[in-house]
Structure formats: C-alpha cells, structure tokens
Structure 1
Amino acid sequence: MRIEKVLNNNVVLASNAENKEIVVMGRGLAFQKKAGDEIDQAKIEKTFIMETQELMEKLSELLKGIPPLHLEIADEIVQYAQEELHTKLSDNIYLTLTDHIHFAVIRYEQEMGLKNVLLWEIKKFYPDEFAIGDYALKIIKEKLNLTLNEDEAGFIAMHIVNARQDGQEMQDTVAMTEIVNNAVNIVSYHYGIRLDESSLNYTRFITHLKYFAQRMVKKEIIPSGDDFLYEQVQIKYPKAFECANKINYYLQETYHTTLTKDEQVYLTIHIYRVTEGTETKKEKS
C-alpha cells in the first residue's frame, strides 16, 4: 500500500487493493514520508473508506486541520450507535460529527458553551439517539479528559438522527417534531399547567401525537367520521374538546390540514387523560 498524500504525521491518503482511496491512520505513520512511499503495515491503526470520492476528498481536507484523535472518537461513537440502533449510518456523519467534536473541544477550551434550544424535544422524541449522545460524552471524557454538558449530547444525538435519514426524511422529522412540540404547548397553555412528563398518560399522549404527525406529514390520513362518538366526547369532555379544536386550528393555519372527526375524538380523549385531575389540583393550590 502506497501513500498518495500525506495529511499529517499520523494520517495519509492511500489506495487499497481495489484501487479505492482510503484514509489510513497510525501513530508516526507518515513521519518523514512522502507520496509514493510504502506504508508500514505494522503502524496502521485505523482505515476509513467513504461511500463516494466526494466524501473521501472532504474527509481528507478536514483532517488537515484537526487532530486525528477527533476522527477516532467520532468513529467509536458511530460504531456504538450502529450497534445500538441496528442500522448503518451514512458515511457523511464522519465529516459532520468529527467537525462538531473538534469545535466542541475548542468551545470548551475557550469557555464558550453553546445552548441547545431543542434539548427538551431531542430527549423526548429521540430517546435512543440521546442515550447514544450521552454515551458519547463518556467516550470524549475518557479520550480527551474533558467534561461536556448534556447540550452537547443533544447535538450529537441530532447528528445520529440526520445520519439515519435522507434530506426529505429529515425535513419530515423536523416537521413532525414541531407538530408534537406545539401540540403539547397548546395543551399546557390551554390548561395553564405543566404536564407531568413522568406519567403513563403523558407517554401515551406523546406516542399518539408522534404517530398522528407521521401520518399527517406523509399524507396517510384517511378521511373518516363517527358522528356519534364525536358528539359524545364533545359533551363529556368539553374543555379537552375545545383544546383539540385549538390544535386543529393550528394545523389548519400552519399545514393546511384538518383533523378528521376520528382524530378529534382520539385527541380529545388523550388530552382529557393527560390533564385529568389538574383542575382539582389547581383549586387546592
């Protein structure tokens, strides 16, 4: 295996047996070496093969200005994520996550913390990816001896989410996240309370919203209408029904989508359950 380009003392661009460009890493691998020299196989610690030539070029360019250890950390996180999620992540994550880790370290050293405004949503809607982000902080602590906060765990989680999806899917995910988040906010404002996120009814409510949002974004909602149940919940749960109407108005104004009568029935029941007893508690307080 011959060196095509020396990126730094520890990283080179080379070609494998299939004549594909690869990034090869190892301590002192390229010390006093130049293009055309043979690579000492005993010094190879890690190799990276990207899906496309474009990604390979971007990775080699990125590695010119950052410590190779940051790529190694990103790779360890990616390998862990793929095992936990049982899925292959896009190779693009090696660029985005390595770059993010590098600047997270710089921000830490300069005491320039970056607030993750979507942390709550990430924790609630992407718990598996957030758990991976949390584990990533342990890897960074072990490798770099610095402690990043959970805002960074949230950022890393979103890199994982992005790597699982193509561009359109990511747009859909953002839309679904906004729908769920805004629906929860509408309920909270309507009742003047903070919902109990630890309750089983809250979990059921969020799950219902997520599946509804997914069907709505993918245009899989089937028009329906059970007039009897619709009239019954309107009479039995008037405040929850009024709240469901507010969510319906939000969807009409923002996404030009109207809840079916069946959806309004289910949503009203979930709203009632997740807020049940709150009026009594407010009266006592």
Structure 2
Amino acid sequence: MERDAKGIEITNRVYWEIKTYYSHEFEIGNVAVRLVNQTFNTDFSEQEAANIASHIINAENGNDERKDALKAGQLISRIISIIKYQADVTINEHQMNYQRCVVHVKFLVERAIAGELLDDADPAMVALVANQNPRAFTIAQKVAAYLNMKFKAPLPDEEIMLMAMQIQRVIT
C-alpha cells in the first residue's frame, strides 16, 4: 500500500516466464491483485500478480533456496528456447503437445534444482526412443548439455529419453 501511495511499481524480471510457465500461481496473483485494487482503490498491475506468484512458487518449494522462482523461470525459458531453435520448425504454442512439453520442462527443472532427477531407465527403452526419434533425441541431448553446464552434473538417460518423447510430439 505504501508503494502504491508513493507511485512505486516493482517490475518482475521473470514476469513472462511466471505468467507462461506458472499460470496457475499467476492467476492466484491476479485474483489477489484484483481484490486489493477493488478493496483499497489501488492500481496494481499484472507485474504485482507475478510478484505474488513468485512468493507462492517459493512457498510451495519450502525454504530450500535452490528452488526459487527466478532461477526456475530462467531455466525453463532457456530450455524452451533451445528446443524451438533446434527444432527449426514453427511450433504452435497453443497446441496441447506444446503445453505438455512445457509442463514436462517445468518439472524437469524443478527436479534438477532439487537434485532429484529420475535415473532408472531401461537401456533398451532409451535405445528404442533414440532410434525411433533421432532428431528429438539429439535436441534432448542439447538440453542435457545445457543443464550439465548449469548444474555440473550429467542428465540421466531416463530424463533425456523422457524429454525426447515430449520434443517428438511437438516437432511432428
């Protein structure tokens, strides 16, 4: 309320990422902003909704500072960019398979940040996915290389395989 009285608006550096990848939390922030604006005759924007959503995301992740919304949003955005660039096709962002891929990336990032990656892949299944979807598997390996660079730990074959399956749905 003090910020509104002083005309101070805090922008959120990952506004777009939060709005896009954490839409449920962002909508809760929007509801809160609408209620505050109506009740107190203020003029908070969607930027404030993203700030509220950041607090919700961080609260969902507990006190573990490795799991913060800013870091996750940036990683998700970068991975989606890698997929789009490497796919070299027009991707319909309103397509259900794209949305499923984004959700998969979101959870992959959350597992990577928490150090809780899936690692019980059947090597025959990994080989099958790699052989049937070589382009998607190559893109998934590029995502894995990026995450390896960020976390200084290789992405397990299971995570690469699952990412390749999501990517395949998006690029076909």
TM-score by length of 1: 0.52
Distance in 2 separating the partners of 1:164 and 1:229:
33
Distance in 1 separating the partners of 2:31 and 2:132:
46
- In terms of fraction of residues, the more helix-rich structure is 2
Alignment of 1:30-179 (within 5 A): 70=1, 102-107=2-7, 114-168=10-64, 170-174=65-69, 175-179=71-75
Where structure 1 has 5 or more consecutive residues not aligned to the other structure, the ranges are 1-69, 71-101, 277-285
Q: RMSD value over aligned CA atoms? A: 2.6
Cα contact 2:119–2:159 (8 A) shared by 1 = no
With a CA cutoff of 8 Å and minimum separation of 6, indicate the structure with the bigger relative contact order: 2
> 1:187 Cα deviation (Å)?
0.5
Partner of 2:82 in structure 1? 186
Where structure 2 has 5 or more consecutive residues not aligned to the other structure, the ranges are none
Look up the equivalent residue of 2:3 and give its one-letter code.
Answer: F
Q: Alignment length, in residue pairs?
A: 171
Cα contact 2:83–2:139 (8 A) shared by 1 = yes
Deviations 1:12-64 (A, max 9, x none): xxxxxxxxxxxxxxxxxxxxxxxxxxxxxxxxxxxxxxxxxxxxxxxxxxxxx
Larger mean CA deviation between 182-191 and 213-222 belongs to 213-222
Larger Rg: 1
Q: 1:266 aligns with which of 148, 162, 172?
A: 162
Question: Against the structure 1 CA distance between its residues 165 and 268, is the aligned structure 2 distance closer, same or farther, given a 3 Å change threshold?
Answer: closer
Distance in 2 separating the partners of 1:185 and 1:200:
18
Cα contact 2:129–2:161 (8 A) shared by 1 = yes
Look up the equivalent residue of 1:138 and give its one-letter code.
Answer: R
Partner of 1:99 in structure 2? none
Aligned-partner SS, 1:198: coil
Look up the equivalent residue of 2:6 and give its one-letter code.
Answer: I
> 1:250 Cα deviation (Å)?
0.6
TM-score by length of 2: 0.80
Aligned-partner SS, 2:116: coil
Aligned-partner SS, 1:147: coil
Cα contact 2:58–2:67 (8 A) shared by 1 = no
Look up the equivalent residue of 1:171 and give its one-letter code.
Answer: R
- In terms of fraction of residues, the more strand-rich structure is 1
